[in-house]
């Protein structure tokens, strides 16, 4: 595992892909980009997709899907960045989803807007299961 990859690099990777764009008449993407460091030391990224009728998903979900597609499920670190450069913590749905992908993900470190670091477990003290 490549623990040398820090939040600065994850921030840069997320910020690079956080490019707001229109996909269709009512669908947009890229307002938020996410980057995560997996258990193998690889970085996976994704952007949000906002579509009518709540069928879109968060950038974290997109990055997690890329990681799972590659055969991994453990996340060491994660950051989400808006297209305006702001760090955003994962929403409750993303927190729970991450924990359900791999029970060890409650130890995943997350960069917060004030540049402090916490864990998913601290952000989600009462898990669904």
59 vs 1, 2, 15, 35, CA distance in Å? 23, 23, 12, 8
In a domain, 2, yes or no: no
Q: What is the pLDDT of residue 55?
A: 86
Q: Which two tokens stand for residue 110?
A: 């997350």
Asked whether the predicted pLDDT for residue 71 surpasses 70, the reply is: yes
CA pseudo-torsion sign 47, 42, 66, 103: negative
Q: What is the pLDDT of residue 3?
A: 57
In a domain, 128, yes or no: no
In a domain, 34, yes or no: yes
Query: 78-118 pLDDT, tens per residue?
Result: 999 999 999 999 999 999 999 999 999 999 999 999 999 99
In a domain, 44, yes or no: yes
Catalytic residues: 60
Q: Give the total residue count for the chain.
A: 129
SS (H, E, C) 4-24: CCCHHHHHHHHHHHCCCEECC
The total number of structural domains in the chain stands at 1
CATH number, domain at 39? 3.40.140.10
Mean pLDDT of all residues in the chain?
A: 94
- The domain containing residue 76 runs over which residues? 7-123
In a domain, 77, yes or no: yes
Residues 6+ apart with CB under 8 A from 103: none
In a domain, 1, yes or no: no
Asked whether the predicted pLDDT for residue 59 surpasses 60, the reply is: yes
Q: Which of 15-19, 25-29, 113-117 has the lowest mean pLDDT?
A: 25-29
pTM, two decimals, is 0.93
In a domain, 105, yes or no: yes
In a domain, 97, yes or no: yes
């Amino acid at each position: 595992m490549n623990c040398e990859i820090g939040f600065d690099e994850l921030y840069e990777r997320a910020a690079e892909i956080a490019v707001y764009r229109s996909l269709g008449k009512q669908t947009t993407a890229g307002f938020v980009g996410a980057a995560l460091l997996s258990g193998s030391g690889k970085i996976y990224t994704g952007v949000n997709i906002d579509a009518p009728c709540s069928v879109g998903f968060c950038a974290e979900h997109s990055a997690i899907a890329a990681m799972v597609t590659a055969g991994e499920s453990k996340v060491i670190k994660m950051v989400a960045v808006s297209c305006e450069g702001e760090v955003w913590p994962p929403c409750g749905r993303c927190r729970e989803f991450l924990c359900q992908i791999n029970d060890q993900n409650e130890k995943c470190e997350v960069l917060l807007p004030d540049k402090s670091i916490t864990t998913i477990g601290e952000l989600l003290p009462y898990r669904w299961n």
